[in-house]
């Protein structure tokens, strides 16, 4: 069966996770395909963000990450819901973790109504589950209306990376997948999985990132990815 993954080139997502990142994104000469706005990391700029977002030179993914999946500030569900709802009108994509999909189903439904595409995500910073477990999570993401299922897991060993590759290459679903590793083999995982059909590659907008294995937008361009 031919899947959507074989028909798409991977798109670069520049991650805005700090005021400095936002400043770089606003001044960039060659923007990536998309920007991801980490609302949980920019709560203190809430009042300024709406005005500044109008100036961003690429479509936007919004997310307010769950504290157990790397979210900053230990935001409550109510705080995260309010942030996402406030900025939904500026978004082309909404990213909600699989663990939050049920409790945020009304927000996901509103996104669909507004024609905002939905990314259902799963992050594990300690290990990489088996391909079978990841496939089960993909089915759950599809049940919740995902347009893209995003996976980001720890890849410190070839075995962990192999699980992501197995999941990516053995999937029989036509659900688009964005799959990447974090850790010692994070950089090579992003290149390898993009070649295998991952539809998104996440990258820092500057030269420095606090995500181990995440390359910059310019490094990915040097490898032949992106616009």
**pLDDT tens digits, one per residue of 186-196:** 999 999 999 99
List, for residues 87-97, the tens digit of each pLDDT value. Answer: 999 999 999 99
Identify which of 58, 94, 102 has the alpha carbon closest to the alpha carbon of residue 77: 102
**Which pTM does this prediction carry?**
0.93
Distance CA(81)–CA(106), nearest Å, equals 10
Asked if the structure places residue 196 within a domain, the reply is: yes
214: its two tokens = 């995440």
User: Residue 45: inside a domain, yes or no?
Assistant: yes
Q: How confident is the model at residue 50 (pLDDT cuts 50, 70, 90)?
A: confident
Please name the residue ranges forming H helices in the chain.
19-27, 46-53, 77-87, 105-113, 131-143, 158-170, 186-195, 217-222
Q: For the residues 152-167, what does the mean pLDDT come to?
A: 97
In a domain, 92, yes or no: yes
Task: Report whether 202 contacts 220 (CB < 8 A).
Answer: no
Q: CA geometry: angle at 113 spanning 110 and 117, to 5°?
A: 85
Stretch among 82-96, 179-193, 195-209 having the lowest mean pLDDT: 195-209
pLDDT recorded at residue 161? 97
Domain of 214, CATH number, reads: 3.20.20.70
pLDDT band per the 50, 70, 90 thresholds, residue 5: very low
Whether the CB-CB separation of 75 and 67 falls below 8 Å is answered with yes
Structural domain includes residue 28: yes
- Residue 207, pLDDT > 70, answer no
Residue 202 placed within a domain: yes
Least confident of 33-37, 157-161, 214-218: 214-218
Look up the domain containing 74 and give its range: 4-222
Tokens 């995003």 found at: 150
Residue 227 inside a domain? The answer is no
Number of domains the chain contains: 1
Residue 165 half-sphere exposure toward CB, CA atoms < 13 A = 15
Mean pLDDT for the chain overall = 92
Q: Decide if 161 contacts 186 (C-beta within 8 A).
A: no
Q: 215 in a domain, yes or no?
A: yes
Name 193's bridge partners: none
Closest CA to 2 of 198, 162, 171: 171
At 132, give phi and psi (nearest 5°).
-65, -45
pLDDT at 209 over 90: no
On whether residue 204 sits in a domain, the answer given is yes
């Amino acid at each position: 069966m031919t899947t959507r993954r074989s028909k798409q080139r991977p798109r670069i997502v520049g991650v805005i996770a700090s005021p400095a990142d936002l400043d770089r994104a606003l001044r960039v000469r060659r923007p990536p395909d998309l920007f991801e706005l980490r609302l949980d990391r920019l709560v203190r700029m809430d009042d300024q963000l709406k005005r500044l977002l109008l100036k961003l030179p690429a479509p936007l993914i919004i997310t307010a990450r769950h504290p157990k999946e790397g979210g900053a500030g230990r935001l409550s569900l109510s705080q995260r819901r309010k942030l996402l709802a406030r900025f939904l009108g500026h978004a082309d994509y909404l990213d909600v973790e699989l663990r939050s999909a049920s409790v945020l189903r009304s927000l996901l439904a509103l996104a669909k109504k507004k024609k905002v595409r939905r990314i259902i995500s799963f992050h594990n910073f300690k290990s990489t589950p088996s391909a079978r477990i990841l496939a089960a999570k993909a089915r759950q993401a599809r049940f919740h209306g995902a347009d893209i299922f995003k996976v980001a897991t720890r890849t410190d060993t070839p075995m962990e990376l192999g699980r992501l590759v197995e999941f990516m290459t053995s999937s029989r679903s036509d659900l688009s997948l964005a799959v990447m590793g974090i850790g010692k083999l994070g950089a090579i995982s992003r290149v390898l999985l993009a070649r295998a059909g991952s539809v998104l590659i996440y990258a820092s907008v500057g030269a420095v990132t606090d995500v181990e294995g995440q390359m910059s937008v310019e490094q990915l361009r040097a490898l032949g990815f992106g616009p």
